[in-house]
Amino acid sequence: MRKTVIPFGPQHPVLPEPIHLKLTVEDERITEAIPNLGYVHRGLERLADVRDFHQMIQVVERVCGICSVIHALCYCQGVEEIMGVEVPPRARYLRVMWSELHRIQSHLLWLGLFSDSFGFESLFMQFWRVRERIMDISEATTGNRVIVSVNVIGGVRRNPDPEQLRWVLSQLEWVEEEVRRLENTMLEDYTVKKRTVGKGVLTRQQVYELGAVGPVLRGSGVAQDARQTGYAAYGELHFEPIVEIDGDCYARSKVRFRETLASIDLIRRAVNRMPEGEIRVKLKGVKPPKGETVSRVEQPRGELLYYLKGCGEKTLDRVRIRTPTFANIPPLLVMLPGHYLSDVPVVTLSIDPCISCTER
Amino acid sequence: MFKMTPNIMRNLVVKKSTRMYPAQVRPTFDKVRGELINDIESCILCGTCAVKCPSQCIAVDKKVYTWTYDPFACVYCGVCVDTCPVKCLSQKTQYRPPTGERLIITLQGQPRKKDKTKDKGSEKETPPDQEMEKDASAETPEP
């Protein structure tokens, strides 16, 4: 049959960020997809040469706008490991709280965008309305809505008082109630299921071999989550990964939906167990980082990896960032062939592409 | 089939999710990092803020006693406020209003004297292109 090549992106109504997929189509069915990246490359890793290792916190936060606090946490964790700095317990619990707030807002954003990808715009509005409350919590506790600049090497910068923490919990109750109200629509609705069930199926073996991470991996039945390593205070909060077995777009959205609720639960546990005390250790007398390390955390999209190398100077030698979307593009290329052209937006969005993350 | 219907019915009676900005403005929270203010009278022009700033939006000239700040390059991280030794820097809870023109704030400080009488700092707007050149020359050359 005659082949046609159709470009998908870099500008497309469902894509929040530019990625170009060259789709080879045979009678509306896709036979091959070739990605093309590089539209938003900013060269942030290179900035490590000119900014000192404290200033790099603000730089790595800008790798991804949606999960800025988790990038900064991963970076700080790595530098602390090289320098041998012990973070106070309260700071570790606060880091968990802010990480999980960011995970909730990122998942709610994705659930909205995903419903928009199959044309369910009122559901999109409902999710983003709930998300706004999370942004308010971020603003009240850290000082900014998205790029919160709250992590520093040796701890955190803000210390919410008990009254503010109670307010956070009361706001989260509202969020949980609203999210649960949307559960029936997102997971049971006929039109939603029609567009997502059986689309972009990956088996357990495939995701493992292709090196998928995050909800793509867990949606296919592999219980792997970097939070199981117990970084920050996750080791003390009895964290368990959320797994679905179907491996299609529906399973992935279900993983994200259930993770949103699980994150609310994690914040509750973290706040209730939060110890009193210092939030930041002083770095007087500690020498600049000398050595190398690999730091891993779980982003909303999957596992994030930082390789850091310092040679005892104010600037780091090397900052290498491996973001989850980068790992999830090969699985996407396996998912697409065999589908109709009209399913491409849904399947592409199901990996939660964060392109500015990928290209740094 | 009609899973969304209860939500839609509810939305008919609850209040609106959006507000009519700018007629109705949301009150800000207490510790929001907004507009950066320098109380130049107590500023000792030590240059710590300029060194620590991750976006290099502050320049301090110790020879002519000026403190220059580019609000459009600022990322409002608040590092300068945290590190200021005399606490002359502060942040309002309001953000700077939007403008169409690039604005660079230059504050004139005074040399440090123990018996000095209070002099006023002046806030003035300088032509953008002139300041742009100055900024470019102040930047450290990349290797």
- Is B109 inside any structural domain? yes
Closest CA to A316 of A306, A327, A308: A308
Is the confidence at residue B116, as pLDDT, over 60?
Answer: no
CA A351 to chain centroid: 11
Residue type present at position A236: E
pLDDT at residue A301 above 50? Answer: yes
In a domain, residue B12? The reply is: no
As for how many domains chain B has, the answer is 1
Q: What's the confidence (pLDDT) of residue A264?
A: 92
Task: Give the model's pLDDT for residue B114.
Answer: 54
How does pLDDT run across A134-168, given as a tens digit for each residue? 999 988 998 888 888 888 888 898 888 889 899 99
Query: What domains does chain A contain, in order, with CATH numbers?
Result: 4-353 (1.10.645.10)
> Does residue A312 or residue A252 have the better pLDDT?
A252
Q: For A55, which of B29, B54, B143 is closest by C-beta distance?
A: B54
Q: Which domain holds residue B64?
A: 27-126
Q: Name the B residues in 20-59 with CB < 8 Å from any A CB.
A: 29-33, 52-55
Whether B70 maps to a domain, the answer reads: yes
Statement: the pTM of the whole predicted model exceeds 0.80: yes
Q: Examine residue B139 and state whether it is found in any structural domain, yes or no.
A: no
- Which range among A105-109, A238-242, A277-281, B133-137 shows the weakest confidence by mean pLDDT? B133-137
Considering the domain boundaries, does residue B71 fall inside one? yes
Q: Tell if the CB–CB gap between B32 and A51 is shorter than 8 Å.
A: no
pLDDT value at residue B141? 41
Q: What's the confidence (pLDDT) of residue B113?
A: 63
Q: How high is the pLDDT of residue B127?
A: 43
What's the pLDDT at B96? Answer: 82
B15: distance to nearest CA of chain A, Å?
12
Residue A158: both structure tokens together: 């803000």
pLDDT for residue A267: 92
Hey, are the CB atoms on B54 and A51 less than 8 Å from each other?
yes
Considering only the C-alpha atoms of chain B, give the largest distance between any 2 of them, rounded to a whole number of Å. Answer: 81
Going by C-beta distance under 8 Å and a sequence separation of 6 or more, which residues neighbour residue B4? Answer: A122, A123, A185, A189
Of A224, A216, A220, A223, the residue nearest A246 (C-alpha): A220
Q: Is A143 on the interface with B (CB under 8 A)?
A: yes
Q: Output the pLDDT for position B128.
A: 43
Contact criterion met (CB < 8 Å) for B78 and A51: no
A-B Cβ pairs (cutoff 8 Å, strict): 60
CATH number of the domain that residue B107 is part of = 3.30.70.3270
